[in-house]
Amino acid sequence: MRILIQAVVLVGIAFLPLRVGRAAGSPGWHPAIIGAREYVPIEEFCRFYGLSASEPALGEIHLSGGAGTVEGKQGSPYVYIDGIRHALSFPLLEKDGRWYVSRTDLSCLFDPVFRPWRVPVRSSFRGVVIDPGHGGHDKGARSRNGRYEKEYALDTARRLGTILRAKGIPVVFTRTSDLFVPLEERVRIAQEHPDYVFVSLHYNQSEPSGHGVETYCLAPRGAPSSNNGIWVRRVDYLPLPGNGNDLLNTLLAHDIHLELVRLRPDDPEMDRGFRRARFVVLRDNPLPGVLVEGGFLSDPVDSAWVDQPGYRQQLAAAVARGLERFFQATNGRTSPSHALRALPAD
């Protein structure tokens, strides 16, 4: 079976130069153009990261090695990296018996996760802008017991702030009370703290109800948001302030999501995935940023958990652990930024 991917090609969009790298024992990268999009053969991907591929069966692929494990299905918008669900910008592709991974996912998903020490860091990060979602007349989702997302988000934010301050990490809040704060004001607050990272805290709602936690970061330029499938719109090619931190965004979201899904290890549906979106607070934000959805208030199981102060404390602690992982991976070193979607060089 072959995957047919609809590609949007815009006249005048100049892609940045491709850096073809070479690892020990590797003949280098040989990207293929398939459907007007660049892909890398899976055998080169495996060679570079020291992975071995088991024989694909029924449209599935399983990779394992020193870098970790990758499990994916042909046409699926997700892969599991070390057992954790991650949204792809474009599905894995099989063509003429060969598997391919998109260049965007190689550079903006797999490389930051597998080699966090290679993510370019312009300056050290010392604090966190905590953004409790909603507020005031903007109540957000309504829980099954009648309470609103804005209350839970603010309570979780306060708990996160207390934990971080106890660890010596400075924090700034976009709101500290039941106050409506426009999205643009939240971004402005972030802009005033260039050596911080940004975490927006929310709880979810859907009909029919979903279940579990999600962690969002900004979609790379030229890639769709996770909820838009594989369809790339014209606006997805626009350069956004947040895309200057694509690799840091990925690393931050991965580190936090890794901790969140461990909160309820007996719940097989807890992991809704690391995802991509163009929310205003991520899109226009100059800081590395994520948006956390801590559970579905429309779901009876999630709602019962979120209503417990002890669980919100655990969730805040999980976010704090993810932030610590990120700070440990990035602080104490700086490196020049490199071109968006450039292939790993070594």
pLDDT on residue 334: 62
Q: How far apart are CA 155 and CA 161, in angstroms?
A: 10
What is the CATH architecture assignment of 127-330?
3-Layer(aba) Sandwich (3.40)
Q: What CATH code would you report for 32-114?
A: 3.30.457.10
Question: What sign does the dihedral 178-180-185-187 (CA atoms) show?
Answer: positive
Pairing status of strand 196-204 against strand 78-81: unpaired
Q: What is the mean pLDDT of each run of 10 residues along the chain (346 residues)?
A: 29 32 56 93 96 80 95 94 97 91 97 96 94 98 94 98 98 98 98 98 92 98 88 91 97 98 95 97 98 97 97 98 97 56 64
Taking the model in full, what pTM does it have?
0.90
Domain ranges of the chain: 32-114, 127-330
Beta-carbon contacts of residue 30 (< 8 Å; ≥ 6 apart): 40, 41, 44
Name the β-bridge partners of 76: none
Q: At what angle do helices 246-260 and 309-330 cross, to 10 degrees?
A: 140
pLDDT on residue 333: 63
